[in-house]
Copies of this chain bind each other. A is one copy, B any other.
Amino acid sequence: MAAFFSDSHYRAKALGAPYAALWQTLERNASGGKRVRPRMVMAAYEALGGTDFDAAAHVGAAFELLHTALIVHDDVIDRDFVRRGGVNVSGRYRDIATTAGIPLPDAEHRGMSVAIIAGDLALFNAYRLIDRSGVDGILRTRLHDLLDEAMFVSAAGELYDVDFALRSGPAGGADLPTVDDILEMERLKTAVYSFETPLQAGAALAGASAAAIAALGAFGRNIGIAYQIVDDLLGVFGDERDTGKTTLGDLREGKRTVLLAHAAAHPEWAEVADLVGSPELTPDEAARIRAVLEQTGSRRFTEALARDFANRAWEALVDPELPDTAREEFRPVVASVLGRVR
């Protein structure tokens, strides 16, 4: 990642300081994450006997760059100007514009416009990092296909998330997304590109059998969904000292989650439905929502669902096609997801 950004920054300088500055902003936004996708690529690669860690690092960086593009554009779609406590690309360029005296609506649109450009740059270069890995021929095509699948599927998930946002809104009415709708959306939007395909890419790069690659893919799909469900649980019930993020954010945003989809099917939900998605939601109101989520059994249901997907992930690892090293490598991943569930 560092090599790619330093090359790009150098190239950008020749086209002007503001363009070089955009690349610096993009690099800042690409750093500081948990690097989940490269970790998955590397873990699968190592567990299946790979030894060329430089090639694996390039493939991991390709998935991370795809992730960078998707979150930068996702923030534009969600009209978010903040990520991980700091301003994101949209926020940075919105602030530059307001400082220059541009009125806020125009400044926000300017920030979002620059973020569209920045996301495009990250997206367009993901393939090239696979080319830089040095692999060629059929394997390179296989890796391209996996990266392609990752992006193709997450775009569908993003589209459905946009649809749900409208259906959950005032005009949504009775047509709320069901628990299954949300699960499918989260699988498409996040699990496939964050877990399933990076694991498959690492395994493919290590020369694993088709059956082993498929088994790791099944593990990734299920652990990815479990991970997402737990994330949504912690977004409402988590301990801010552990998660480091407020438990009001998701509720104020009205984020579409399994937790809320389950609750929405119960009459008690009517009492608090209007509070969800209100940007001024108070801690007391949030507490009322949590109480309803307990009454309706939505919290228990969601926790059980997370455990269920984590167990399915573990079952996939038991596949005889996978070496013990794979089970040793990924047992802690399953454990950490289960550990985050109450």
Chain A interfacial positions (CB closer than 8 Å to B): 8, 11-12, 15-16, 18-19, 22, 69, 73, 76-77, 79, 97, 100-103, 106, 109-110, 113-114, 116-117, 119-121, 123-128, 131, 141, 144, 148, 151-153, 155-156, 158-160, 162-163, 166, 169, 171, 188
Contacts and interface: CB of A to CB of B under 8 A. Distances in A.
B163 A18 contact: yes
A121 B153 CA distance: 10
Contact of A156 (B19, B69, B79): B19
A156 B110 contact: no
B110 A162 contact: yes
A120 to B, nearest CB: 6
25 contacts: A11-B152, A12-B156, A16-B156, A18-B163, A19-B155, A19-B159, A69-B120, A77-B117, A100-B171, A101-B171, A106-B169, A110-B162, A114-B162, A116-B119, A117-B155, A117-B159, A120-B120, A120-B123, A121-B152, A121-B155, A124-B124, A124-B127, A124-B151, A125-B148, A127-B128
Contacts of A120: 69, 73, 119-120, 123, 151, 155
Given A120-B120, A127-B128, 4 more contacts: A15-B188, A76-B113, A102-B166, A124-B124
